[in-house]
Amino acid sequence: MQSLNPVLITDSQPIANKAFLLQFNRTFIFKPGQIIGITTQKEIAPRLYSICSTPNDATVSILYTIKEDGVLTPQLSALKAGETIWITQPQGKFLFDGKPSWWIATGTGIAPFYSMFQSGQKPLKLIHGGRTQNDLYFHQEFQALTDYIKCCSQDSGNGIYAGRLTKYIDEQESLPPHINYYLCGSAEMVVDVRNLLIKKGAEYHQIITEIYF
Amino acid sequence: MSKSILFGKTLAELNEICKQIGLPGFAGKQIAQWLYQKEVYSIAEMTNLSLKSRELLAQKYEVGLEAPIKVQVSADGTKKYLFQAKAGNFIETAMMPDNDRKTVCVSSQVGCKMGCLFCMTARQGFQSNLTAGEILNQYRSISEWAEITNLVYMGMGEPFDNIDEVLKSLEILTSDWGYALSPKRITVSTIGIIPGMKTFLEKSNCHLAVSMHTPFEEERKKLMPIEQVYSLEEVIEHIRAFDFGLQRRVSFEYIMFKGVNDTPRHVKELIRLLNGLRCRINLIRFHPIPDSPLQGSDDETIMEFKDTLNRKGIITTLRASRGQDIYAACGLLSTKELVKKQEKDY
């Protein structure tokens, strides 16, 4: 078992349908893109979540959605400020190297990119996918990016590309050469997008992926 | 109302069921013997339970064995079984005969979350975890089950992403009240989920196989996203710290990709990484999946790679390719059959 340390929740708020932002005081050093294990009780194995705050923030923020058949997230969502959760040390190597890149995310897969973005790191383009704009967490903050593409499969208008992000990528005449592609989201999205990028000419070693499990 | 399935329950779970429905304390072990040591398909056949006990049990439970819905037979004798899973998905199982051995390769999940670049199952995304009963059914419900000598957890899915059900299935396979198989005839393969691997090492005596595929971190990240989370170096560190004893084996699976991981540089790094570790490497030929950017190494390169490692003291074998004419590599058949009904979340 990874070593677990108790921390007090400082805030826990719903930010969209089934999506919550959990915060606690930062007691460790981490890099944008890293993950942390969280559990509500020492007896329950921790689950891994990307950190979506910056290394300089006093509090650590974690974005998660409730899995109704899950063990942990229904319990997490019921906790209030002042209650205790257990965390592991930060880990993970999904780190941005600063080279020209596209960031591509769906769902809570946006979390590591939000940490990177809030830390001053920027992509050439961010392609953000969800069913509706409500599923594009932090989309208002990301508007500050030069090239921010909001793809919604069940929404339109207001600067939204109406369609899945795979459709958006497939419609690009060509991909920019010599850039990297950072992907974060469900395994299905990551695999679909990776295959699509390769089909459109990207080399597999240009693609850096983070998966949820 | 559908009945709960008894097949796949551990002795402790069967005892609990007996307690809940008012059966005598010894009935749990009797039921386990009927489920795992005798060929019964219904509760009515469990004749050393009283009629009243059988009636009570049958009110809420059934045995729950499921026959395969499809079987393909390769020219080399390999069979590929397809079992129906929930929601229009499929479970793949392979049975590979080899002289006096018959090995069954079981799946632990429908689909997979791990997203490995070279894997066909990854293209299904993740559908569901299998229960211990669904895992064991792949062994018990194939026609050769009584002749099976070895089991490998190398089918669809990552076993340590479903560790609780995998451990239950291993308990049933190796307990004297279950199938009483030697743990030395069972190998569980992982891509290196460290918490699950540690639990497995502590709670089971079965062999461990780790999918390595390259000793270099940056290369492995591109082939296997798990490297971002649990690095191979950490995996090996944990393996080194564990006492495997003399009987238990750890092996590393290594698919040979042309020009990617088959060079002298890789041999050198493998020797450095595995220095002093009692282990073996299983080289595997890569049979390209559709639209893959990877190609398999040629035979000459593979043999040179193998011979060099053996000369340097690392026991290295080359796994025979089986069932190529029936898509026996995991994921190929079920991905072909998969009817995707669920909406994508992006």
- How many whole angstroms separate alpha carbon B186 and alpha carbon B206? 5
- How many whole angstroms separate alpha carbon B259 and alpha carbon B298? 10
Best probe of the B interface among A38, A169, A211, by most B CBs < 10 A, is: A211
Question: Is residue B342 in some structural domain?
Answer: no
Give A60's strand partners: A24
B119 is catalytic: no
Closest Cα partner for B280 from B259, B309, B242? B309
- Spell out which residues of chain B touch residue A203, defining contact as CB-CB under 8 Å: 293
Do A213 and B161 make contact, defined as CB atoms within 8 angstroms? yes
Those residues of chain A that have pLDDT short of 70 are 1
Which of B161, B222, B345 minimises the CB distance to A106?
B345
Give A130's strand partners: A152
* pLDDT tens per residue across span B288-305: 888 889 999 999 999 999
Q: How far is A59 from chain B (nearest CA, A)?
A: 23
Question: Is residue B40 in some structural domain?
Answer: yes
- Spell out which residues of chain A touch residue B122, defining contact as CB-CB under 8 Å: 187, 191
- Spell out which residues of chain A touch residue B198, defining contact as CB-CB under 8 Å: 1
Helix, strand, or coil here: A86?
strand
Q: How far is B228 from chain A (nearest CA, A)?
A: 5
Sequence ranges of the domains in chain A: 5-87, 101-211
Do A188 and B126 make contact, defined as CB atoms within 8 angstroms? yes
Do B117 and A204 make contact, defined as CB atoms within 8 angstroms? yes
Question: Is residue B346 in some structural domain?
Answer: no
Residues B297 and B317 in one domain: yes
Q: Catalytic pick from B18, B112, B206, B330?
A: B330
Q: Does B249 touch chain A (CB under 8 A)?
A: no
- Average pLDDT estimate for B142-152: 97
Query: What six digits make up the tokens of A158?
Result: 């207001």
Question: Is residue B272 in some structural domain?
Answer: yes
Give the count of Cβ contacts less than 8 A between chain A and B. Answer: 96
Which of B122, B221, B345 minimises the CB distance to A191?
B122
At residue B89 the predicted structure's pLDDT band, cuts being 50, 70 and 90, is: confident
Residues B117 and B192 in one domain: yes
Question: Is residue B176 in some structural domain?
Answer: yes
In this predicted structure, the answer to whether residue B341 has a pLDDT above a threshold of 80 is no
In this predicted structure, the answer to whether residue B338 has a pLDDT above a threshold of 80 is no
Question: Is residue B345 in some structural domain?
Answer: no
In this predicted structure, the answer to whether residue B150 has a pLDDT above a threshold of 70 is yes
Residues B167 and B40 in one domain: no
Do B345 and A130 make contact, defined as CB atoms within 8 angstroms? yes
Residues B174 and B221 in one domain: yes
At residue B346 the predicted structure's pLDDT band, cuts being 50, 70 and 90, is: confident
* pLDDT tens per residue across span B172-231: 999 999 999 999 999 999 999 999 999 999 999 999 999 999 999 999 999 999 999 999
- Average pLDDT estimate for B77-84: 94
Range of the domain at B193: 70-337
Question: The domain that contains B53 carries what CATH number?
Answer: 1.10.150.530
Q: How far is B261 from chain A (nearest CA, A)?
A: 13
Which of B125, B222, B346 minimises the CB distance to A153?
B346
Chain A residues in contact with chain B using a Cβ-Cβ cutoff of 8 Å = 1-2, 35, 45, 48, 91-94, 106-107, 129-131, 135, 151, 153, 164-166, 185-191, 194-195, 198-199, 203-205, 207-213
Specify the pLDDT at position A71.
84
For residue B68, what are the CA distances in angstroms to B140, B141, B294, B335?
11, 7, 32, 16
- Spell out which residues of chain B touch residue A210, defining contact as CB-CB under 8 Å: 225, 228
Q: How far is A154 from chain B (nearest CA, A)?
A: 9
B55 is catalytic: no
Specify the pLDDT at position A43.
87
Query: What six digits make up the tokens of A41?
Result: 């009780």
In this predicted structure, the answer to whether residue B131 has a pLDDT above a threshold of 60 is yes
The span from the first CA to the last CA of chain B, in angstroms, equals 35
Q: How far is B239 from chain A (nearest CA, A)?
A: 14
ipTM of predicted assembly, 2 dp? 0.89
Residues B301 and B198 in one domain: yes
Do A191 and B125 make contact, defined as CB atoms within 8 angstroms? yes
Do B221 and A93 make contact, defined as CB atoms within 8 angstroms? yes
Last residue of a domain, one of B45, B62, B79: B62
- Average pLDDT estimate for B53-80: 95
- How many whole angstroms separate alpha carbon B336 and alpha carbon B346? 23
Burial track A190-206 (b if 16+ CB lie within 10 A, e otherwise)? bbbbbbbbbeeebebeb
Residues B118 and B36 in one domain: no
Do A204 and B222 make contact, defined as CB atoms within 8 angstroms? yes
Specify the pLDDT at position B255.
97
Specify the pLDDT at position B339.
47
Do B231 and A93 make contact, defined as CB atoms within 8 angstroms? yes
The yes or no reply on domain A5-87 and CATH 3.10.580.10 is: no
Question: The domain that contains B150 carries what CATH number?
Answer: 3.20.20.70
- Average pLDDT estimate for B115-134: 92
Q: Catalytic pick from B18, B92, B116, B134?
A: B92
Q: Which of residues 141-200 of B touch A (CB under 8 A)?
A: 158, 161, 193, 195, 198
Last residue of a domain, one of B31, B46, B62: B62
- Average pLDDT estimate for B152-172: 97
Residues B35 and B170 in one domain: no
Do B346 and A35 make contact, defined as CB atoms within 8 angstroms? no
Q: For helices B232-241 and B194-203, give the axis angle rounded to 10 degrees.
A: 20
Contacts of A131 (CB under 8 A, 6+ apart): A152, A153, A154, A155, B343, B345, B346
For residue A124, what are the CA distances in angstroms to A136, A148, B56?
19, 9, 66
Contact B135, B162 (CB under 8 A): no
- CATH architecture entry for A101-211: 3-Layer(aba) Sandwich (3.40)
Overall number of domains in chain B: 2
Residues B13 and B132 in one domain: no
